[in-house]
Amino acid sequence: DQQVKQNSPSLSVQEGRISILNCDYTNSMFDYFLWYKKYPAEGPTFLISISSIKDKNEDGRFTVFLNKSAKHLSLHIVPSQPGDSAVYFCAASARSGGSNYKLTFGKGTLLTVNP
Amino acid sequence: DAGVIQSPRHEVTEMGQEVTLRCKPISGHNSLFWYRQTMMRGLELLIYFNNNVPIDDSGMPEDRFSAKMPNASFSTLKIQPSEPRDSAVYFCASSLKENYGYTFGSGTRLTVV
């Protein structure tokens, strides 16, 4: 029972173009969402987050959009760079529900940015 | 800050043997998490501790798995006896209560043959 779904196992884009990674969730109690980036042989590292009271959060080349009615969020990377090639994990938590330490992760999307 | 430190980085063991994975969280972090990553299931939460107390162990696959946190600076995940299907990368992560971003260790790649 996957509560956080990343339906695209992989994505390939050209350097300089936009990368859009998608994530869907089923648990309506989720109110905080994060994206993590993972390089081979390393642990995931925090990239950007968004609270459910917002619909957009931007940090440099990275923007996360949240559509609560559709239970969907996306990560936009503009412009994409070869160093962005990694696995991206979407994660969610239900902070107001008391289990605010617990993150539920999707299976990840492998992004490849071609020079 | 050395980050979250996990040992060993790689472990190869024979089926039936006991395996112990170790984790040192970031000093001052009061929550610690053990995750397992596999191709089929992605990142699964096994157990998490808050202030050294286990809060949710519903993700622990079966009784062969156990985890302890004897103090704020050390945790272990033990598998006894190990089976080939336990082969995966095991991650430890820690966080501050006020900071909802986890810091992950580099993981332990376990192979059970």
Categorize the per-residue pLDDT at B42 as very low, low, confident or very high, splitting at 50, 70 and 90: confident
> What span, in angstroms and rounded, lies between the C-alpha atoms of B85 and A88?
25
* Residue B2 to residue A98: CA distance in whole angstroms: 30
- What does the DSSP 8-state code read for residue B78? E
Phi, psi of B86 (to 5 degrees): -80, -10
What is the interface size between A and B, counted as CB pairs within 8 Å?
Answer: 58
Looking at residue B85, the DSSP 8-state letter turns out to be G
Interatomic CA distance for residues B68 and B19, integer angstroms: 14
pLDDT at A99: 54
Q: What is the arithmetic mean of pLDDT over A39-53?
A: 93
pLDDT in tens, B60-106: 988 999 999 999 999 999 999 999 999 999 999 998 865 567 899 99
> Look-up: residue for tokens 């994660």?
A91
Q: How far is A78 from chain B (nearest CA, A)?
A: 23
Q: In the 8-state DSSP scheme, what is residue B6?
A: E
With 0-12 / 13-18 / 19 or more C-beta atoms within 10 angstroms meaning exposed / middle / buried, residue B2 is exposed
List residues in chain A touching B: CB distance below 8 A: 32, 34, 36, 41-46, 49, 89, 93, 95, 99-108
Rounded Cα distance between A107 and A21, Å, is 12
* Residue of A42, A101, A105 with shortest CB distance to B95: A101
Q: What is the pLDDT of residues A12-32, one digit of tens each?
A: 999 999 999 999 999 999 999
Residue B28 burial class via C-beta count within 10 angstroms: exposed 0-12, middle 13-18, buried 19 and up = exposed
The runs of H, that is alpha helices, within chain B are none
Of A42, A95, A105, the CB nearest to B106: A42
